[in-house]
A = this chain, B = another copy of it.
Amino acid sequence: MTPQRVSLITLGVVDVDRSRAYYRAIGWREHPRSVEGTTFFQMHGSVLALYGLNDLAADLGRPATALGTGAITLAQNFETEAEVDAAVDRAVAAGGREVKRPQLVNWGGYVGFVADPDGHVWEYAVNPFWPLSADGALILPEVE
């Protein structure tokens, strides 16, 4: 049986120190397992890693210049619009680039996008149709 999971999301970053400073500034706390050149953040059953772009390129056997960003987004969902606004403001204050100011979108959500220092796009959102679990997990609602 194929597990439907992502254990680890790895972001290739030009400057691990710069990137770590950014994620710290938006309030994330790195895990003590972090090592020189790689920073880990424990998430909800999975882990986010910051890793040197050149190291990632070497691992993949590709030139670093061939590694783009953008066609993938990482969404962090919240309960309220105010939380989304605060998250976007925090990210911009930390040096993120606002891609889209939070706004109501046609499917009924409230969504903003901010790119981190390497262009990795984070979506900050409220989805009123998908309430988060008490522990913060996103479990899709049953179909009636």
- A residues within 8 Å of B by Cβ? 1-12, 26-29, 31-33, 40-48, 53, 56, 59-62, 66-78, 87, 90, 99-100, 105, 111, 113, 118-121, 123, 125, 132-133, 135-141, 143
Contacts and interface: CB of A to CB of B under 8 A. Distances in A.
A139 B68 contact: no
15 contacts: A2-B28, A4-B48, A6-B9, A7-B125, A33-B143, A42-B140, A45-B136, A46-B138, A59-B105, A60-B99, A61-B99, A67-B68, A68-B69, A68-B71, A72-B72
Nearest to A138: B7
What is the total number of copies of this protein in its complex?
2
Given A60-B99, A60-B121, A76-B3, A40 B70 contact: no
